[in-house]
A and B are shown apart, each in its own frame.
Chain A
Amino acid sequence: MIVRACCLAACLLVGLAPAASAGTYRLDDSLTHTTPANVQMQWRPIEPGLRDSGMQAWVRVNVRIDTREWVGQRGQVYLVMERDDSSSITAEWTTEGRLLPGRIGTGQRTLVYSGTITTATLEDQFLMRLQSLADWRSDTRRLNFHFELDTQ
């Protein structure tokens, strides 16, 4: 009886560790932080012919994703910019090379890593530029990001 119970617990644990099944899983990026923590948008230079040349800001994102649960797992890691109730904003970044550069808008996601996860953390530093038109509903807003993993 005891041996079968132990096997049942092990099997349940394996089933509850999400990496084992195909799907999309949110990753622990709670140690990811930006520099600065608060950003002031700046006016972009006026472009002739455009009604609104918009605003931009630069920020460094120190990415640290806890991937201990996924070591050995093959999949794709995406950066997600969650949608807010204001106007659209785009984020475009370059990296130090561990993750992929890219571009996303609010409510979108973009691939930053594809392959087998071999380490307990995925770390990189993004130089990210935020751009938007001057059409916000308020003078401040909060952008929420997260990383998620697609497994096959």
Chain B
Amino acid sequence: MLRHGLVLSTALTAALFAFEAQAWSLSIASAPRRVFLHVGNGTIDGNNSLVNRVEVTVPVNQLGNGTPLPMNSTSTQSSSLYGDNYLTCPTPASQVMIGASYRRNNNNSPASARLSVTSPANLTNASGDSIPFSEISWTVSAAGSANPGVIPAGTFNGGTQTLATIPANTYIENCHSFRYANSALRAAGTYNGRVVYTLSAP
């Protein structure tokens, strides 16, 4: 009797172990915070080293007459990088598309990213002459958008300017058309300058 009782106990224990079979699990981490920015030609969620140029040649008979002159760009980015390929900036020769996105998991901060632009004080030529960057301003547009001024119009100030805030998990874009104020007669030459747009989420 005792021997059979022992066999019964063993069988019960084996059955109980069968109920406690281990499951399998997976440790997952949320996607890290991400900021993406493009000015002119760009590659969605990627790096693109092509730097576009915005330029104007002032006609001799309009030098310094105070009439603003539109500037043309080398950008060919007419379609949105947003994913729908929408023709946001149909004339890229006069519209530089700027797009920015900030993505984060709900638990991360900050709640938004900041888009800013930094311009030097002047454009300069090989002879040392200069034209203030404040002579260049821009208007904005976005075909088919309910908020074409999502990045507002403005004028460079030779420093750093905050342009817009981008809420988490959103994508903003619009088209920037630049013009030169032509407010004074400038020395002959080719004046160059570079601005840097920055999207940060400190």
Contacts and interface: CB of A to CB of B under 8 A. Distances in A.
User: Do A and B share a direct contact in the complex (Cβ within 8 angstroms)?
Assistant: yes
Interface of A: 1-2, 5-6, 8-9, 12-13, 16-18, 25-30, 32-34, 37-43, 45-48, 51-53, 55, 57, 59, 61, 66, 69, 82, 87, 130, 134-146
Contact of B105 (A16, A130, A134): A134
Contact of A140 (B27, B168, B170): B27
Interface string B1-45: 100100110011001001101111111111110100000000011
Contacts of B103: 43, 134
B49 interface: no
Contact of B31 (A6, A17, A42, A48): A42
B28 A141 contact: yes
A38 B29 CA distance: 8
B31 A43 contact: yes
Interface of chain A: mostly helix, strand, loop or mixed = mixed
A34 B4 CA distance: 43
Looking at B4, B24, B171, the one whose CB has the most chain A CB atoms below 10 A away is B24
Looking at B4, B12, B25, B34, the one whose CB has the most chain A CB atoms below 10 A away is B25
Contact of A32 (B12, B19, B24): B24
Given A45-B45, A45-B83, A140-B28, A17 B21 contact: no
A79 to B, nearest CB: 10
Contacts of A12: 8, 11-12
